[in-house]
A and B are shown apart, each in its own frame.
Chain A
Amino acid sequence: MAHFIYGVATNTGKGFFTVQDRQKFFLRGYPANVWMVGNNTDGAMWLAEKNGVEKTKAEAQALIDAEVQAAQAAWDALPAEQKTDMNPRPTEITLP
């Protein structure tokens, strides 16, 4: 069984995920409103209650890639003086 469930859900703010949620199951947010939740009843119920749309890992990764690539394009468009080591180009994110 896969360790994680992937899905897309809009972060509605306060109460979207609670301290109790964080104690009950693994949860991590990624670009493009992608959420990775622990593959257990609590995690699955959370995603369903948030009107989340479950994605395969590949689909979730594609959404993240598109968001990161957009951020990289924005960074690439910066003038040279803004492209400092201190302001690094957004890097690829790989789902575990």
Chain B
Amino acid sequence: MSEYAGIRGTRVKYLASDPTLNTSTEGQVWYNSTSGTLKSLVQIKAWSSGGNMNTARYHIGSTGTQTAGLGMGGYTPGGVNYTATEEYSGYSWTTSGNLATARFSGGALGTQTSALYIGGVSYPPVVYYNNTEEYDGSTWTAGGAYPASASDIEGFGIQTAGVAVGQNTPSNGATNHYNGSTWTSSNPLNTARNAGQAFGIQTAGAYAGGYIAAATNAVEHYNGTSWTSVTNMNIPRYHGGSSKETRTGAIVFSGISTGPSLNSSEEYDGSTWVSSVNSTIARRYSGGAGASSSAALAFAGEGPPTLSSTEEYNSNINAITQAAWASGGTLATSRNRIGGAGTQTAALGFGGSVSPGAGEPTVSTATEEYNGSSWTAGGALGTARYGVKGCGIQTAGLAVGGVINPNALPGATRDTEEYNGSSWTASSDTNNNFYLDGVAGTQTAAVIRSALGGPGNYTEEYNGATWTTVPGTIGTARYAGSFIGTQTAAIYCGGEPPTPAGFLSDTYDGSTFSSAPSMVLQFKRGGGAGSQTDAVVFAPSTASVATQQYNGISWVTSANMASQRNSVADSPAATASAALAAGGGPGVKNNTEEFTGGTEVATASTLTTS
């Protein structure tokens, strides 16, 4: 019988507790004497479904990463050649600018914002192309002509240092470099072939598999000048997909070997091929993308039939828990456009409209306190209003603005009230009218902004006693966005008018607004929580179930709410991983939903004999 020490050259460690779990621990086996279990930290590898493409097709061009993928061109039976380009966000595909020339089986390289599409073919009649088109993230423009009119080209590298390799008509291993404007020839593959899987950069590339009268498993490395044969793949394949950006951590998948389309995949570390888990859907002529073997993307292709589906490949040591919304307690009074403050387990809901519709809402003074499971009555607001927004915590909350008289514009109030955990006390008015405008910060250091009632671009700060208009103006004046964070480090999200303001986000540092990345979905009059670099927003006025999260770098969509709603009481003092949405519309709601953010935690597996 094989023994661990004989295989690994070391004994199993005897530990009272699990060691620190990280990539250096991956693959180790130890005995946890406290739990009495044999444990290991192993890679979790799996394919899961991604968003479907808008246009099913095969022989699609592809490049990019799992969260910024790009697919272009393609073909479907009946002689349909595509110019269509789609971008993948990690969640869904969005159509973008079309290629100038409809074709398929061309080569692609680069990123979602700086790509190339090279050569290709269209049918009927069969026409081969030498066109190169350059993509800037929205539009394709003509680039330098490729040295041959050919299809089944593979690309890797970037737009200004790209490599195109292999082609048919006739099959050969021609290799060419692109410098951003023109192509120059380099040394060909040692074994002439085409339709393989290529990845890496111009000075460290790889070409795996391909077709030479049959599928091959041959692999060659490229050093920027010449190709060298290296270790073969396990399974011969061509017309498959691969990750794109590096050859020292790559994965190839899908394609044709013999017989039906493949669902197998292999990981490559730059020297050794290791079989990985099968994808759920077998496909060939598919698109592929990915930065590495840790996160790749397979999309479109032919099963048969012609596919629009996407699968995401992930390999890491973390156990992933998806974000989710769960039901919470019920408000005693159903209300729309209700104010909120506090956290998920110590929140406030106050004011709002208790009658449905936009005609003549009946405004409320009611306040309710939430303890993480149920709502109980709190002290009444001094001024009944709806569209009031809040910040701070349950025992030190702030209510700002809103509308008292819906039949008179401006019917908005400038009233500010402070809550001490049991009752509200009037404070000084804001200098401008605010309605459903997000307020960030605390009871003693808050900030609010909008442009309600005209072209103004008002930002005001509160010091616990008075409001001061500050000079900071936002790049695109708008109102009814969410303001998340502190008085000196906040992010203003979305707003009206919807286009383009609904997609915008801007950071605020206490004096200046700066443009931040665009949101995935339009957003206004919604709820939010978190900080400038870790935010969540939900329940926009379009009464959507959509949730969006920001990590300081980009916005992504997150778990959907159970029911569509808008203008909720939120929890602005909560973290982005523990938010609250209560009441709101359409109509008047009294139910609550609680948001728990997703997690990725390195998790040891218990080894058993079963």
Contact = CB atoms under 8 A, between A and B. Distances in A.
A74 interface: yes
A21 B320 CA distance: 12
Interface in A13-56: 13-23, 27-32
A28 B49 CA distance: 12
B92 A86 contact: no
A28 B263 contact: yes
Interface in B553-568: none
B260 interface: yes
A15 to B, nearest CB: 7
Nearest to A84: B168
A91 to B, nearest CB: 5
Contacts of A86: 152, 168, 195, 211, 238-239
A44 B320 CA distance: 22
A79 B322 contact: no
Given A13-B92, A86-B195, A90-B304, A18 B126 contact: no
A86 B152 CA distance: 11
A71 B302 contact: yes
B503 interface: no
Contacts of B211: 86
Contacts of B433: none
For the complex, would chain B's binding face be called helix, strand, loop or mixed by DSSP majority? Answer: loop
A21 B44 CA distance: 13
Interface string A69-96: 0110011010101100110101101000
A86 B280 CA distance: 24
Given A19-B314, A29-B280, A12 B48 contact: no
Given A70-B305, A71-B304, A82-B123, A19 B52 contact: no
B256 interface: yes
B9 interface: no
Interface string B32-65: 0000000000001011111110000000000000
Given A31-B303, A67-B304, A70-B305, A18 B123 contact: no
A16 B52 CA distance: 10
Interface string B67-92: 00000000001100000000000011
Contacts of A21: 48
Contacts, number: 89
B310 interface: yes
Interface string B242-261: 00000000000000100110
A5 interface: no
B213 A85 contact: yes
Interface centre among B91, B260, B282 (most CB of A within 10 A): B260
B281 interface: yes
B489 to A, nearest CB: 32
Interface centre among A15, A18, A29, A68 (most CB of B within 10 A): A29
A75 B285 CA distance: 14
B459 interface: no
Given A23-B46, A82-B123, A31 B304 contact: yes
A82 B280 contact: no
B52 A12 contact: yes
Given A11-B49, A13-B51, A18 B322 contact: yes
Contacts of B450: none
Contact of A70 (B152, B277, B304): B304
B455 interface: no
A28 B280 CA distance: 5
A11 B309 contact: yes
B454 interface: no
A16 B310 CA distance: 10
Given A19-B44, A20-B322, A86-B238, A14 B51 contact: yes
Which 4 residue pairs are nearest across A and B when measured between Cβ atoms?
Answer: A71-B304, A74-B77, A16-B49, A29-B281
Given A12-B52, A13-B309, A70-B305, 12 more contacts: A14-B91, A14-B92, A17-B49, A20-B322, A22-B277, A29-B281, A29-B282, A71-B302, A79-B126, A82-B126, A88-B256, A91-B260
Interface of B: 44, 46-52, 77-78, 91-92, 123-124, 126, 152, 168, 195, 211, 213-214, 238-239, 256, 259-260, 263, 277-278, 280-282, 302-305, 309-310, 314, 320, 322
